[in-house]
């Protein structure tokens, strides 16, 4: 090979090597691409207009600063098991605290049991007793759709159960146990018959959500809140810099309560409409075991001075079937149900009035209108 041919051949080899090196570098770069931001979360907006309002309702949450009560007491020849004081989590915790109450009943040999109250807690207690083979009679002043549970927002989440700093040491472990028991029961009831479904929730604020709470990333019930994560700025459609997403169940009381009451009747349960004004009237009941699920009524009936009302108010708009998510802005909430869009955000301790507060209503509606107007 002459000198010119040798140089030409060397040049071709060097060029090929250079191209090969480029190819290697290109592949290496492609293996570690820059992270891609999730796209903007596109959600339909709630149409908050004054002429879309269909009703405003008020309910009184049975709140105890130290938390709910599940305990057993003697009343002459009767055993009374208390199951009340759930604050804003009566529907949420009903199957859980009712299981704890039924374990108290299990210590007796009585086959016939009286349950006081026909809201979410009373019905759950009655059904769990039936499933244990007990004969159950419900005694209640009001039946669905006229119970306090019927005006609950009924998002599954243990909200407003106790006042931080006032709870005894065993409240949080019992709350976590009751939450897991209740959540497991609701999961097997998801569907149209009971009006229960999973929905994404968006909790929002101006500052990062602190650790140590039930909504926090280190929550003791985080396993009950699937898909919990914070939205990135690129995917956040809400007019708040911090938005935390999680999934939870929505329970529609006007569907759920009649369905459970029907289950109770099918299983042979009896209902007697009756109001007890003084505890001494319980002596006339034929049952020797009584489970008290009277909620706020336990204050007067059993003399629980710690029990106080927390007034909650809901303004309900015409239904929007396309709204399939919940929002939790500061001091507000929006829950979509088949009977309407629920707008709430009041927690007035010690207020007994069932009259709507028009000033509070105006604030709730106006702030929700602003939020959905400013959504991207």
What pLDDT does residue 21 have?
39
* Mean pLDDT on 280-309: 96
* Gap between the Cα atoms of 202 and 247, Å rounded: 9
* pLDDT at residue number 32: 57
Residues 303-308, mean pLDDT to the nearest whole number = 96
287, part of any domain: yes
For residue 36, what pLDDT band results from cuts at 50, 70 and 90? low
3-class DSSP state for residue 98? helix
Per the domain annotation, does 173 fall within a domain? Answer: yes
Q: Identify whether 158 is part of a domain.
A: yes
Confidence band of 7 (pLDDT split at 50, 70, 90): very low
Angstrom distance (rounded) from CA 312 to CA 347: 5
| In a domain? residue 5 | no
Predicted pLDDT at 206: 96
Alpha-carbon gap, residue 178 to 170, rounded angstroms: 12
Domain count, the chain: 1
Length of the chain (residues): 376
Helix axes 171-187, 90-105, angle to 10 degrees: 100
Q: Is residue 235 part of a domain?
A: yes
Q: Is the pLDDT of residue 1 over 50?
A: no
Query: Which pLDDT belongs to residue 35?
Result: 57
Residues 6+ apart with CB under 8 A from 280: none
Among 335, 340, 367, 360, CA closest to 88: 335
pLDDT band at 33 (very low <50, low <70, confident <90, very high): low
- CB atoms near residue 21 (< 10 Å): 10
On the question of pLDDT at 283 being above 60, the answer is yes
- CB burial of 179-196 (b: ≥16 within 10 Å; e: otherwise) equals bebbbebbeebeeeebbb
- Of 251, 239, 252, nearest in space to 45 by CA: 239
Tell me the three state secondary structure of residue 318. Answer: coil
Cα–Cα distance between 256 and 181 in angstroms, integer? Answer: 18
Q: Where does the pLDDT of residue 28 fall: very low under 50, low under 70, confident under 90, or very high at 90 and above?
A: very low
pLDDT digits (tens, 9 = 90+) for 201-255: 999 999 999 998 899 999 999 999 999 999 999 999 999 999 999 999 999 999 9
Could you tell me the pLDDT band of residue 164, with boundaries at 50, 70 and 90?
confident
- Confidence grade of residue 259 (pLDDT, cut at 50, 70, 90): very high
The band of 314, judged by pLDDT with boundaries at 50, 70 and 90, is very high
DSSP 18-49: HHHHHHHHHHHHHHSPPPPPPPP---PPP---
Which H or E run contains 250? strand 242-251
pLDDT per position as a tens digit, 63-110 = 999 999 999 999 999 999 999 999 999 999 999 999 999 999 999 999
Q: How far apart are CA 248 and CA 367, in angstroms?
A: 24
In a domain, 207, yes or no: yes
CB 326 within 8 A of CB 336: yes
Residue 37 lies in a domain: no
User: What pLDDT score does 132 carry?
Assistant: 97
For residue 97, give the CATH number of its domain: 3.30.9.10
Backbone angles phi, psi at 66, to 5 degrees: -90, 0
Least confident of 16-30, 108-122, 291-305, 360-374: 16-30
> Over pLDDT 90: what percentage of the chain?
86
Q: Is residue 197 a contact partner of residue 249, using CB atoms and an 8 Å limit?
A: yes
3-state helix, strand, coil in the chain (%, to 5): 35, 25, 40
Residue 104 placed within a domain: yes
Q: Which two tokens mark 34?
A: 């820059």
Count of beta carbons in the 10 Å neighbourhood of residue 227: 11
- Domain around 229: 50-374
- DSSP secondary structure string, 200-246? EEEEEESSPPPTTSTTSTT-TTGGGSTT-EEPPTTT--SSSSEEEEE
Q: Which of the residue ranges 3-17, 186-200, 259-273 would you say has the lowest mean pLDDT?
A: 3-17
Instruction: Scan for tokens 């009943």, then name that residue.
Output: 105
Query: Which token pair is 331?
Result: 């001091």
- In 3D space, the residue among 69, 294, 53, 57 whose CA is nearest the CA of residue 152 turns out to be 57
């Amino acid at each position: 090979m002459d000198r010119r041919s040798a140089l030409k051949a060397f040049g071709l080899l060097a060029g090929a090597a250079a191209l090969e090196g480029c190819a290697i570098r290109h592949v290496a770069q492609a293996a570690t691409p820059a992270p891609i931001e999730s796209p903007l979360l596109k959600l339909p907006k709630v149409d908050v207009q004054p002429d879309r309002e269909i009703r405003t309702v008020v309910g009184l949450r049975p709140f105890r600063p130290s938390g709910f009560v599940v305990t057993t007491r003697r009343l002459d020849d009767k055993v009374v098991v208390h199951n009340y004081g759930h604050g804003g989590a009566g529907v949420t915790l009903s199957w859980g605290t009712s299981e704890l109450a039924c374990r108290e009943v299990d210590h007796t040999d009585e086959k016939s049991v009286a349950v006081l109250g026909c809201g979410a807690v009373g019905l759950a207690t009655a059904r769990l007793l039936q499933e244990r083979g007990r004969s159950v009679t419900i005694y209640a002043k009001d039946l669905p759709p006229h119970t306090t549970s019927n005006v609950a927002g009924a998002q599954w989440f243990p909200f407003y159960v106790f006042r931080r700093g006032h709870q005894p040491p065993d409240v949080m472990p019992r709350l976590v146990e009751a939450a897991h028991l209740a959540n497991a029961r609701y999961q097997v009831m998801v569907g149209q018959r009971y009006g229960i479904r999973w929905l994404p929730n968006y909790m929002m604020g101006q500052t990062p959500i602190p650790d140590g709470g039930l909504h926090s990333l280190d929550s003791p019930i985080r396993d009950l809140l699937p898909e919990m994560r914070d939205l990135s700025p690129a995917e956040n459609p809400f007019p708040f810099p911090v938005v935390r997403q999680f999934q939870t169940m929505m329970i529609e009381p006007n569907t759920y309560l009649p369905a459970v009451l029907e289950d109770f009747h099918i299983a042979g349960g009896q209902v007697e409409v009756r109001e007890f004004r003084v505890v001494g009237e319980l002596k006339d009941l034929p049952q020797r075991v009584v489970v008290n699920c009277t909620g706020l009524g336990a204050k007067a009936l059993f003399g629980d001075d710690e029990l106080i009302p927390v007034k909650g108010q809901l303004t309900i708009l015409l239904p929007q079937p396309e709204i399939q998510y919940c929002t939790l802005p500061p001091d507000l909430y929006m829950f979509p149900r088949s009977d309407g869009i629920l707008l709430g955000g009041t927690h007035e301790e010690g207020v007994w009035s069932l009259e709507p507060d028009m000033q509070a209503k105006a604030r709730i509606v106006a702030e929700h209108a602003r939020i959905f107007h400013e959504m991207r």
